[in-house]
Homo-oligomer: A and B are copies of this chain.
């Protein structure tokens, strides 16, 4: 089990798509943020402000990043990056645990 220590956790969850995607915001001493979240099976589209790194802790999905036709399979232990001011579509196949880092 890996951990983030000396952090602040926002108590209330971020809830999207009627609970299909939920997450907790983690704030580091540097001021940077990550979210630790769960995606239930389903299809979701998210927009990005800054670039994001999506680290899949466990689960199984396919992702299509805006401007790219192909779908990329991603599973636990793998990750994908989404540019700033972009969007990404996901087909989540199994309950998926993720960590999202906001890169800029």
Q: How many copies does the complex hold?
A: 2
Q: Does A15 contact B (CB under 8 A)?
A: yes
- A4 cross-chain contacts in B, Cβ below 8 A: 8-9, 11
Measured CB to CB, the closest approach of chain B to A64, in angstroms, equals 23
- Measured CB to CB, the residues of A under 8 A from B are 1-13, 15, 18-19, 22, 24, 26-27, 36, 38, 40, 57-58, 95, 97, 99
A9 CA / B18 CA spacing, docked (Å)? 25
A3 CA / B24 CA spacing, docked (Å)? 11
Is the pair B12, A40 in contact by a Cβ cutoff of 8 Å?
Answer: no
The residue among A9, A10, A18, A58 with the most chain B CB atoms within 10 A of its own CB is A9
